């Protein structure tokens, strides 16, 4: 059995039992970012069930013992790796300001952001079966994958509200989650790629009408 169990507020895997480190030995955290990046890569390729500590160690060119000195289990490693995805999230202090909600939302669509979104969705697909039973992992996924984009949407919509561009009755909290929710459904359930055409259709066909914005014919 390879699920996760919660123990003393941490996540422990029921497989990949750790090898105890030497007491009193100072841990070297200098390689943590690289190891976490490699964990994400392997997780996106294999999913949680298929991933092993050995795979991550080989990808990071690190010893298995090095990983176990830092993370007591595969479960703890995955939680930290997912959490670190937040570091590459949307810069909320540098959002587009085109003068219109449509312009701002479309300006957020960049090749790099699409690639990152798809990678994050593959990671989510790899851990989705664990979310209902592992609160720490569910919290990390929400914080690192869902909320950054949702928060960007909230800020852009509040800016549009201040301009008088959208209906004051607009449920910004609900609309802010439409894009991440639909992207998740498209990738995880329909197994289709996320591209510019899909995102623009989502903006024009769902978000703007729901916010009471008169649509433009500009691409």
Class of domain 4-85: mainly alpha
Per-residue pLDDT of 125-154, as tens digits, reads 899 888 888 899 999 999 999 999 999 999
Identify the pLDDT of residue 147. 92
Q: Quick check: 141 and 188 in contact, CB under 8 A?
A: no
Domain ranges of the chain: 4-85, 91-210
Q: How confident is the model at residue 15 (pLDDT cuts 50, 70, 90)?
A: very low
Long-range contacts of range 193-198, CB-CB < 8 Å, 24 or more positions apart?
Answer: 193/118, 194/114, 194/117, 194/118, 194/121, 195/114, 196/109, 196/114
* Superfamily name with CATH number, domain 91-210: Tetracycline Repressor, domain 2 (1.10.357.10)
d(CA 164, CA 84) in angstroms, rounded, equals: 37
Length of the chain equals 219
Q: How confident is the model at residue 119 (pLDDT cuts 50, 70, 90)?
A: confident
Per-residue pLDDT of 23-66, as tens digits, reads 555 555 678 999 999 999 999 999 999 999 999 999 999 999 99
């Amino acid at each position: 059995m390879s699920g996760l169990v919660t123990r003393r507020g941490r996540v422990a895997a029921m497989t990949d039992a750790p090898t105890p480190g030497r007491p009193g030995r100072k841990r070297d955290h200098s390689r943590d970012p690289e190891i976490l990046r490699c964990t994400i890569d392997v997780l996106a390729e294999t999913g949680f069930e298929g991933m092993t500590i050995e795979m991550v160690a080989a990808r990071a060119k690190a010893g298995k013992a090095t990983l176990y000195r830092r993370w007591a289990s595969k479960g703890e490693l995955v939680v930290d790796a997912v959490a670190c995805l937040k570091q590459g999230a949307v810069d909320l202090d540098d959002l587009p300001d085109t003068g219109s909600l449509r312009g701002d939302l479309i300006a957020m669509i960049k090749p790099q952001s699409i690639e990152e979104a798809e990678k994050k969705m593959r990671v989510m697909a790899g851990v989705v079966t664990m979310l209902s039973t592992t609160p720490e992992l569910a919290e990390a996924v929400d914080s690192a994958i869902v909320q950054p984009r949702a928060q960007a949407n909230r800020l852009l919509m509040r800016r549009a509200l201040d301009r008088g561009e959208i209906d004051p009755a607009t449920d910004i909290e609900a609309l802010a989650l439409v894009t991440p929710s639909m992207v998740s459904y498209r990738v995880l359930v329909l197994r289709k790629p996320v591209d510019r055409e899909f995102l623009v259709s989502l903006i024009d066909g769902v978000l703007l009408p729901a916010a009471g914005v008169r649509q433009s014919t500009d691409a």
